[in-house]
Amino acid sequence: MLEVKNDNLTIVSNPIVNQSLCTMRDKNTDTQGVRLAARKLTRILLYEATKNLPQKDIEIETPVAKCTTKTINDDITIIISPILRAGLIFTDEAVDILPQATIRHIGMYRDEKTLKPVWYYNKVPMPVHNPSKYYVFITDPMLATGNSLKEAIRLYVSKGIPQENICCVCMISAPTGIDAVFSEFRDVKLIVASVDSHLNERGYIVPGMGDAGDRIFNT
């Protein structure tokens, strides 16, 4: 696979990630197999993505003794923002890891002729009183052209949330999409499991896994 270098790009690679990707890519894997592999992979990616969450020291008492330990700050707002429909595969894992998070869905589909995103659902319009206290995780399995992801990022940046507090989590990406995101939003963080070769004439990632939504939801 082609490697793209950027300080804010993290490519997560280990045997479990590789095995999950192998299962998802294989055209002979059924829907249940794709879902299980995708959920396993999303958990690993989300662990990496949440490294930027601020922590604080608290004192607790174990069954043995008192101790000082770390936990996530409780004065921040955490938002998980899946791009419908394929991004939903991240949601169950995300709420298990971060039960305090708010889920705000973003609905877009890609016009197959122009490859531009078309909006159909938006749960992001909300008041933001202290933008620096917001941490946003935008999830979408495939980063192809980058157009949908840029639209989603733009929503949160327009509310004053610092780019440094926005993390995009994708499974499979293409250099075109990565470059498109960073050309406009240099300071967002991008977590991916793979950077594939290129996009074909239809805007699909090669080798990719086909249409992630279709394979995850058996449509």
Q: Which residues are catalytic?
A: 110, 114, 211, 214
* E strand or H helix that includes residue 92: helix 91-97
- Token code pair at residue 182: 């960073």
Distance CA 209, CA 74 (A): 38
Query: Half-sphere exposure of residue 93, counting CA atoms within 13 Å on the CB side?
Result: 23
Q: In sequence order, what are the beta bridge partners of 172?
A: 142, 194
Classify 194 in phi/psi space as left (phi over 0), alpha (psi -120 to 50) or beta.
beta
DSSP states along 144-175? SSSHHHHHHHHHHHTTT--GGGEEEE-SEE-H
CA distances from 174 to 80, 152, 200, 203, 205 (A): 23, 18, 11, 10, 6
Pair 104, 127: CB distance under 8 Å: no
Give CA 175 to chain center in angstroms.
16
